[in-house]
Amino acid sequence: MGNPLKIVIVGCSGRMGHALLESVFADAELVLHSAVDRSENPHLGRDAGELHGKVSGVKVTADIDEALKGADVLVDFTRPEASMLYLEACQKANVKMVIGTTGFSAQQKQAIEIAAKNISIVFAPNMSVGVTLLINLVQSAAKVLNEGYDIEIIEAHHRHKIDAPSGTALRLGEAAASALGRNLEDCAIYGREGVTGERDTSTIGFATVRGGDVVGDHTVLFAGIGERVELTHKASNRATFAIGALRAAKFLSNKKTGLYDMQDVLGLR
């Protein structure tokens, strides 16, 4: 690969930030270029490697424009409002971007698509290699189980997650819907309460669980008469997302512009 890829990590003191730092420090093809967090964060000015028992020589900063100077790829697992600010800054600095943030509005997603005409971006609700494979398996299963099977998606996450259903659950729903020639917006059911009547066989249902420190569990259930097919992925720690995100960063190293997802990164299409 030549010189190490210079990585900027935003939200560096958060749960995903820690996982990303650990993975960057462990990868000889990558180097931590900058570590960014909010202006009120108590870690500002401290060495980004401190909590990992390392001296990185990179101090945590809130100055995104300064952090992007000379960088190759910014990796973002923050929140939509912050991601939009980082997106704008990356365009100005001509820095590529990996976006693992979820909970974007339709307008924000459109802004990402437009930005990809100027810089290259990997945008995926889940950077896990296993989840990316699961999306493919769901598409294949939906094509085969296209009649007589009800589709339900169950997801569980930690108590701190602020959006529901998860971006991954929605992506799995989109995969199933597209395989069946449907639009998820037209067939999704996000909640049931009271006398709901019989289930509409054309719908895709979602159930959300929030609690404790669950990293991320997703199950797609195809329920037929006399049998059920369940496709499940369970993440036991955030390292899987960090490793996938940094794999995506390497994928972008020779891409000037364009919008990609983990299917592209893994060569699944």
Q: Residue 78 is which amino acid?
A: T
Tell me how far apart the alpha carbons of residues 84 and 103 are, in angstroms, rounded to a whole number: 12
Measured CA to CA, the distance from residue 206 to residue 155 in angstroms comes to 8
Q: Is 244:262 a contact under the CB 8 Å cutoff?
A: yes
Q: Which position among 33, 96, 157, 233 bears the catalytic label?
A: 157
Q: List, as one string, the DSSP characters of 207-249.
A: EEEE-TT--EEEEEEEE-SS-EEEEEEEESSTHHHHHHHHHHH
Residue 37 CB-density burial (10 A; 0-12 exposed, 13-18 middle, 19+ buried):
buried
**Catalytic site residue 157?**
yes
Ramachandran region of residue 34, left (φ > 0), alpha (ψ -120 to 50) or beta?
beta
* 18 classed as catalytic: no
CB 5 within 8 A of CB 249: yes
| Catalytic one of 52, 54, 161, 255 | 161
Residues assigned a catalytic role: 157, 161
